[in-house]
Structures are given as C-alpha cells and as structure tokens.
C-alpha cells in the first residue's frame, strides 16, 4: 500500500459529518498531552537533520528532504494529540476520533488514505481505537484534517524555497557560488549605507539572492533590484520577493545608490561585470564586489588594464581570508578579494 502525502489526504478526505455526541476523558487527555510533549526532540531532529551541516551532495539532499517530510508529519501528529487532549479536557471530543489513545494510530491515519485491512496489526490498532471499517476511517480522517490549523502562508513559501534550493545540489551552474551570510554582511559593512536615507540597491547575477536577503534584513526600507540569467535561480528569487529586472545583467540599465555583487569569475567575467556595474552607479554611489584573486596578479592585458582603471577611480581592495567560501551552499577553496569603488563626479 502506497503512502500518501498530507496534502493528498486533505484533498481527498470527505467533510466531517454532523456530531451526535461529544465525548471527554480527562485521564486520556493527560496521556495524549504527555505523548505530544515527548515528541518535541524527535521532531526537531527530523526538521533540522545534522546532515544539513555537511557539504551538500545530491544523496544528502534527498536524505534531508526525507527527514524533513518525516518531521512535518510528526509535527502534525503532535498538534493533533494536543488538540485531542484539549477536546477530552473540555468534553468536546468528536466521537469519530474519541477512541484514539496512541500516537501510532494518528501516524497511520496521516500516512495512509484508507482503512489498513492489508495489515493485520494496523487494522487491530484501528479497531481498538473504535475505527472498524473504511467508512469510519474516512470519517475519522476528515475530523482530524479539520482539526489541523491551516498552514501559515509564509511557512509554506519558506518550505518551497528550501526545497527548490536543495534541488540545485548536484546541478552544474557555471559561476554559481552562493555568498555565505557572513561574507554578505562584510560587504554591507563596507558599502557605507547612510542611516535613514532612501536607497536603491542592485544585486547583479544574484543567484539565490543571498546578498539581497542580507541587504533587506539590514535595510528594510531600501528598494532592491536583482538580475539573474538562470531560470531555476530566477524562480527562487521571485519566491523570495525579488522580481528579476533583467535576465542578462549586461542588458540592464538604471542608476543605483549601492551595487553589491558576487559575479562569475570564469574567463575574467568578474572584470566585465564590475565595469558595467560601475556605469550604473549614481554620483556618490558605491559598488562593492567580490572578485577573483587572479585579477590582481595576472599579467594579461585585461587584468592589467582593470587594475589601472581601478587605481584611477581610487578603488579599495581587501584580500579575503582563505576559506571564505567554505561555508557557501557550494563550497569552494578559491581565493578572492572584495573591491569597493565610490563614483565621484564625471568618472566613467
């Protein structure tokens, strides 16, 4: 017998019928509440598996998703145990579910869409709970579904974003190395925001929007624009509330007070991105970008010309500590620097 998702159960469950007589059992209420309280640690372990702290791989991603699904099902079970306890304490337990006295019966009901007559042990548990056939099973399921609080829209969206970010694991995306939060905060600290002043911010080649998210947390009143060429990443940005202005950053035009960026490094693309970004700065605006270490010691014509250009603009450069991207969602040992430039007067 295949398992069903809670969403499938919600969609297929019949509406609960009219109640004939509500029931109550204070002793059972205490038992159900104790069972619910005893689930908390396991739920947290399932929702926040230790694998999530390890370097991501496709296999680990699948294991994490499975663990989180288990945790969500257990959390629903816990909420139902508490709801049933409340009903028994107040004498309002619906008769369809008044005989449920164990966690495992609830887990079965939340896992399978019909009476488990294919499994003798499960069927016996149901009968002991007063659920003897599929009609009673469906009635009990409908009542339980009605007890669950409607999912919080923000919680649903956060879960969808997390799922889509995990789906990226193992998918080759050239130049995509998400900015670790601590590095994004470091970039913000040298962007020299003016407290209380309206500000427009651009994150080009935004990826998952890691820098934009930190900027929004630190400066909730800022107007933030992003560009991103990869459709999968565009979808994540939209879910996070960052509408994509242009797919190709080099097609984008506009003027911004701050530009914060982690461009692709391959074939000197970071040089091209930084120079185009500078052209989009307002007078007095400031650009902060991560760049490849190689730009600052290679002797090729492009790198040499960039360093000369940066010097004429009075740009500032900081070397990042080794391993700055070790905590990235796509860890890499590449050496990098932060470059900051403020646009003055008629600089080009």
Pick the CATH number of 170-342 from 3.40.50.300, 1.10.150.80, 3.40.50.150, 3.50.50.60: 3.40.50.150
Q: What pTM did the predictor assign?
A: 0.70
What pLDDT digit, counting tens, does each position of 108-129 carry? Answer: 998 899 999 999 999 999 999 9
pLDDT value of position 10:
45
CA distance linking residue 45 with residue 53, whole number of Å: 13
Query: Residue 4 pLDDT > 60, yes or no?
Result: no
3 state SS of 162:
helix
pLDDT band with cut points at 50, 70 and 90 for residue 295: very high
Query: Residue 343 pLDDT > 90, yes or no?
Result: yes
CA 318 from centre of chain? 30
Query: Can you name the residues that pair with 318 across neighbouring β-strands?
Result: 338
What pLDDT digit, counting tens, does each position of 141-179 carry? Answer: 999 988 887 777 888 898 899 889 988 888 889 889 999
pLDDT value of position 327:
83
The secondary element (H helix, E strand) that includes residue 302 is helix 301-312
What pLDDT digit, counting tens, does each position of 299-310 carry? Answer: 999 999 999 999
pLDDT value of position 156:
84
What pLDDT digit, counting tens, does each position of 199-257 carry? Answer: 999 999 999 999 999 999 999 999 999 999 999 999 999 999 998 999 999 999 999 99
Provide CATH 3.40.50.150 ranges for the chain. 170-342
Q: Return the half-sphere exposure (C-beta side, CA atoms, 13 A cut-off) of residue 311.
A: 7
The pLDDT mean for the chain works out to 89
Buried b (16+ CB within 10 A) or exposed e, 53-74: eeebeeebbeebeebbebbbbb
Helix (H), strand (E), coil (C) string for 203-229: ECCCCCCHHHHHHHHHCCCCEEEEECC
CA distance linking residue 227 with residue 206, whole number of Å: 6
Kindly state the DSSP code that residue 205 receives in the 8-state scheme: S
Over range 128-138, report the average pLDDT.
95
Query: Residue 52 pLDDT > 60, yes or no?
Result: yes
CA distance linking residue 206 with residue 226, whole number of Å: 6
CB atoms within 10 A of CB 270: 26
Least confident of 65-79, 142-156, 282-296: 142-156
């Amino acid at each position: 017998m295949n398992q069903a998702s809670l969403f499938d159960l919600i969609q297929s469950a019949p509406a609960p019928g009219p109640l004939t007589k509500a029931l109550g059992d204070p002793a059972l209420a205490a038992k159900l509440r104790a069972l619910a309280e005893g689930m908390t640690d396991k739920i947290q372990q399932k929702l926040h598996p230790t694998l999530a702290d390890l370097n991501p791989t496709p296999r680990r991603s699948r294991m994490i998703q499975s663990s989180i699904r288990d945790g969500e099902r257990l959390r629903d079970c816990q909420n139902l145990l508490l709801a049933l306890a409340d009903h028994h304490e107040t004498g309002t337990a619906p008769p369809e579910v008044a005989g449920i006295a164990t966690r495992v019966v609830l887990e079965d009901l939340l896992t399978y869409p019909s009476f488990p007559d294919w499994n003798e042990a499960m069927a016996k548990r149901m009968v002991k709970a007063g659920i003897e056939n599929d009609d009673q099973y469906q009635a009990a399921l409908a009542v339980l579904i009605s007890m669950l609080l409607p999912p919080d829209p923000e919680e649903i969206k956060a879960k969808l974003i997390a799922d889509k970010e995990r789906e990226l694991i193992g998918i080759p995306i050239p130049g995509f190395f998400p900015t670790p939060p601590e590095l994004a905060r470091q970039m913000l600290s040298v962007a020299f925001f003016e407290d209380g002043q309206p500000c427009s911010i651009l994150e080009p080649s935004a990826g998952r929007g890691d820098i934009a998210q930190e900027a929004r947390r630190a400066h909730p009143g800022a107007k933030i624009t992003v560009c991103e060429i990869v459709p999968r990443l565009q979808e994540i940005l939209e879910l996070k509330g960052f509408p994509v202005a242009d797919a190709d950053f080099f097609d984008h035009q506009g003027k911004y007070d701050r530009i914060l960026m982690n461009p692709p490094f391959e074939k000197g693309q970071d040089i091209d991105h930084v120079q185009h970004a500078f052209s989009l700065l307002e007078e007095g605006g400031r650009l902060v970008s991560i760049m490849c270490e190689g730009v600052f010691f290679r002797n090729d014509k492009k790198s040499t010309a960039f360093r000369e250009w940066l010097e004429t603009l009075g740009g500032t450069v900081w070397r990042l500590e080794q391993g700055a991207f070790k905590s990235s969602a796509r860890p890499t040992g590449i050496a990098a620097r932060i470059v900051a430039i403020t646009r003055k007067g008629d600089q080009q």
